[in-house]
Structure 1
Amino acid sequence: MTNKAVFLDRDGVINVDHGYVYRKEDFEFVDGIFEACRRFQEQGYLLIVVTNQSGIARNMYTEPQFQELTDWMVERFKEQGVTISKVYHCPHHPDFGPAGERDCDCRKPKPGMILRGIEEFELDPAECIMVGDKPSDVAAAERAGIGTKVRVSTGSLFVTLPNNEASLSLLTHVDQIIHDRSSV
């Protein structure tokens, strides 16, 4: 049984963050993301997306529009031999949307989406990796007890590795990240 996963933020990690992307014609995959994910998958990691989508609360797009884009994105990964096990999203924002939905447990930096993934897939958080582009991604992972947190520079996959070394690409350092994880 797989007990480890890579949690991936969407905007800025999987796709270039053009701001509130909800249409496939605006969705631009970050170079190297398919190969990086394939390498993680080959090492036994599940791939789980955790993404804040406040554009829904802001009425910029709807849940069905988000789901349509998500289905399309997951299919592009599948065409590349990569399985996305689950996509969790937070449609909330503290300043927008229905008052009763503004204070949620899922909007990063809160760990709700990650904790749901840990529970649903029976993961060992210490064996998991979070790849995000914002401090809120790292904070959510920290609060969920994720063992390895990797922060990338938006859209370029410039990486700050766990030992605080910098790298030019997630793809070129997947093997080092996995090795560092296995030697802990």
Structure 2
Amino acid sequence: MNVPTVPMLFVEIEGVLRKTPDDLGRPWKGPFDIEVFPDAVERLRLWKGAGGRAIGFSQQGGVALGETDEQTAVRTLWTVRERVANLLDHVVHCPHHPEAAMPDHARCWCRLPKPGMLIAAQHEVSLRQQERYPLWMALLVARSPEALQAASDLGLDHLHGDAWRRDGGQ
């Protein structure tokens, strides 16, 4: 069986696709208050048009801290996916936080800079699409130091989200 080799883009949702409260200049109120960066949508279109796959990822530690619930976190991710014209092949999040009261909410393998969330998401897309995503063809775009550290630890090429949105990192 000949499995196609395809480039994979990992893109951090906060600050790269979705505007943060700092970008908006006001507090964020929930999934229906989401604004995406138009230039991020264009970058996703270019990546997908060139035959790549894209995964959106997010750290949703507020779930473990009781600041939000799992359903709201998932609805937020799906709203972002819709607002970026469904150009993401998969969205994934880590609901854990190291300061959570319950040990099973405080310790995990998916909270960045640990690689579990990224590996699991790529595996899910691979099973669905019957494709291979070699590391040398992958790119991670993020603003958070944790996500950029995960990329470095995994040997992934990575760009700061602002540079990627503005000019594709060139």
TM-score (norm 1): 0.76
Amino acid at match of 2:147: D
Kindly indicate whether the alpha-carbon contact (under 8 Å) linking 2:95 and 2:105 is maintained by their aligned counterparts in 1: no
Aligned partner letter, 2:119: L
Aligned to 2:56: 49
State the shift of 1:171 in Å: 4.2
Cα distance change of structure 1 residues 11 and 97 upon mapping to structure 2, 3 Å threshold: farther
More off after superposition, 88-97 vs 63-72? 63-72
Is 1:18 the counterpart of 2:43? The answer is: no
Number of the residue aligned with 1:107:
111
Aligned position for 1:172 = 167
Which structure carries more helix by proportion?
A: 2
Aligned to 1:129: 139
Deviation at 1:37, TM superposition (A): 0.7
- Check conservation: 2:16, 2:142, Cα contact below 8 A: yes
1:66 to 2:73 alignment: yes
* CA RMSD across the alignment: 2.1
| C-alpha deviation, 1:59, in angstroms | 1.1
Of 125, 148, 152, 1:138 maps to 148
Map of 1:84 onto structure 2: 88
Question: In 2, Cα distance between the equivalents of 1:86 and 1:32?
Answer: 20
The normalised TM-score by structure 2 is: 0.82
In structure 2, list runs of 5 or more residues that go unmatched: 127-131
Contact 1:2 1:46 in 2 (8 A): no
Detail structure 1 runs of 4+ shifted over 4 Å in the superposition. Answer: 19-22
Work out whether residues 135 and 155 of structure 2, in 8 Å CA contact, stay in contact via their aligned partners in 1: yes
User: Is the contact between residue 11 and residue 57 of structure 2 (CA under 8 Å) also seen in structure 1?
Assistant: yes
Of structures 1 and 2, the one scoring higher in RCO (CA 8 A, sep 6+) is 2
Unaligned runs of 5+ in 1: 160-168, 177-184
